[in-house]
Amino acid sequence: MTGDVRPAGSCNVSDHQALNVRRFSTDSAPADERFDAWAAHSTYCDMVTTYRSDLPFDAQRANVSLGPLILASRTWRHPDPSLAYDAKRTPARIRADQRDCHSFSLQIDGTAALRSDGSTTVKRPGDLYLLDFARPFERVIAPGSEISLSVPRDWLPADTGKLHGASLTRGVGSLLSDYLLSLYNTLPQLTRHDVPHIVRATAELLKASLHPELDTLSAAQTPIRDLLLQRIRRYIDQHLLQPDLTPATICRDVGLSRAMLYRLFESAGGVMREIRHRRLQRVYQVLSSPQGPDERIRDIAWRHGFTDEKYFYRIFKAEFGHTPRETVEQFRQRRETGTH
């Protein structure tokens, strides 16, 4: 695989800006022109079926560039699941846009009937499948949503095209499905600084999904695990003072399953121990600040989620080797004597 990835340590102020997510909604068009607006906005497929419903066509697209990758979503809402429209990638369209990539599409809900090479397969919720955009295909799309990841052809093994239309849901493919869903759910928290790490982790996981030998899977696990841990720890630090910081809220906001969260922090004794450790570190910073704390120790502990004062003193001493009061006194003496 190839791709330009900056060194992880090189960043500037702009690296901490949020990613630019491009969005389109049919809400911006008159009610009777919404499907036409949707068809006109499609740059890679032709819409070959006229939308027939008394309800306005309600659909949204979003996409974001992650280095050479494009992560996208599509949602069409309608109460009648029997409705559908056709999206066809024709030879003329292929010649016109010359989009030389593969797309990994994850069906979130609803269905999409894929017609290609003389056969039809129905993709259902949870199915992850590969599309070769250099080959003609047609999808009959019912109300629902999907997430897709477009990857340059030269990023992937030369034989990837043989998987056109195939589902990759089993084995390592299920890990890729979880990863894509997690990546999409965490877009609001991501910055440009995260992109090189995402590109690196995605490259390893794609390679493992297409050729799930032991060495490729092992290579994929480390960068993905590191990336997820980095996001979770950043989320914990941002919400450290909130009393409802729990595994449930982390899973909900970061987009992880509870089982995956527990696996990630198993070696650390669990995610709640991680939260407690980081809260203790924050309390220590407050108590040892150059100006000294301007609150009572009990109030500082309470603000950081430690409502039992005796328990707080006990675990603080176990963590740092001295009590909170001894910490305050120690740094007070240092300030008075000018020592460090």
Q: Is residue 261 part of a domain?
A: no
Hey, what are 91's tokens? 């030879």
pTM to 2 decimals?
A: 0.64
Q: Looking at residue 187, what is its pLDDT?
A: 85
CA 57, CA 143: separation in Å to the nearest integer?
10
Asked which of 169, 189, 204 is the last residue of a domain, the reply is 169
Residue pair 134/167 in contact by the 8 Å Cβ criterion: no
Q: Is residue 269 part of a domain?
A: no
CA 135, CA 161: separation in Å to the nearest integer?
9
* HEC-encoded secondary structure of 180-231: HHHHHHCHHHCEHHHHHHHHHHHHHHHHHHHCCCHHHHHHHHHHHHHHHHHH
Number of compact structural domains in the chain: 2
Q: Is residue 248 part of a domain?
A: no
Question: Mind listing the pLDDT tens digit for each residue in 120-145?
Answer: 999 999 999 999 999 999 999 999 99
Q: Looking at residue 174, what is its pLDDT?
A: 67
- Strands 144-152 and 101-109, sheet pairing: antiparallel
pLDDT grade, residue 227 (50/70/90)?
low
Q: Is residue 177 part of a domain?
A: no
CATH for 60: 2.60.120.10
pLDDT grade, residue 311 (50/70/90)?
very high
Q: Looking at residue 132, what is its pLDDT?
A: 96
Q: Looking at residue 80, what is its pLDDT?
A: 94
CATH for 300: 1.10.10.60
* Domain hosting residue 287, numbered range: 274-337
Kindly tell me the sign of the dihedral angle through the C-alpha atoms of 143, 29, 48, 177. negative
